[in-house]
A and B are shown apart, each in its own frame.
Chain A
Amino acid sequence: MISLLLLFNTQTKIRLQKWYISYSEREKKKMIREIMTSILAKRLPSCNFVEHNDKKVVYQRYANLFFCIVIDRNDNELLALEIIQRYVEILDQYFKNVCELDIIFNFEKAHFVWDELVVGGEVQESSRSEVVRAVLDQDDLQNFEIENFS
């Protein structure tokens, strides 16, 4: 099960975090700090997995942005890596060449896209076209509401 999705850049600015386990704010901050430290400490080339207590962090760097997800120890690491890839592909398709700024200014959209892919910490939909269609449907609805209500 995925317990956290975390996006941060090389300056350790957090761009997105989504938790699936309830921790106190303090615990969350501590965990994020530890994860960032251990990932940034890695020299390239290295493997994309880091152990963290009883969990495993799987991460991938895209440009200056690190995408990491925290999974259980016996979860499948390679597929975790590919769910990150799938997420990035979908963001890329949706934002047309996604960059960090898109995620900053549309953080809620970044959340919504992820929520189509993963629900309650489990992969809900692995098909790219299904996810993209769902997100575009949301946008249509939004535009419809703007046109008709405002």
Chain B
Amino acid sequence: MNTVVVAQLQRQFQEYLVSLYQQGFLDNQFTELRKLQDEGTPDFVAEVVSLFFDDCSKLINSMSRSLGRPESVDFKQVDSGVHQLKGSSSSVGARRVKNVCISFKECCDVQNREGCLRCLQQVDYEYKMLKTKLEDLFNLEQQILQAGGTIPQININ
């Protein structure tokens, strides 16, 4: 094992993770998820976020359909979708996505289709962005493991 390489990778990992928190992509809930990951469930976090991104995709599609025809918007359905998205994003710690959902809900409550569409767009953007970021993070993790190192547990204040 090349300890220098491992150390370097670990440092990179740490810095990257911290930046994600600092940029608001992630919040404390993500830390909690990482804590739940252990030797018995080494892929737990990856699995959870993967599910999350799948949910996002499905929900956004269905909401998009609901908001599609201006004359017959099913706000109830949209509201339900937003609600669920909010729930899951908060559960994984996807902070930005969650925040968009809050605005989204407000638009939905007043039946602001335009607003909803904008929010929908934003939600879509945010989740995809997060997805990319986390993929990079997981790559770093893999590199560390492959280099024989261990993934550092980082305490984010």
Binding between chains A and B:
no
**B interface with A by C-beta (< 8 Å):** none
**A interface with B by C-beta (< 8 Å):** none
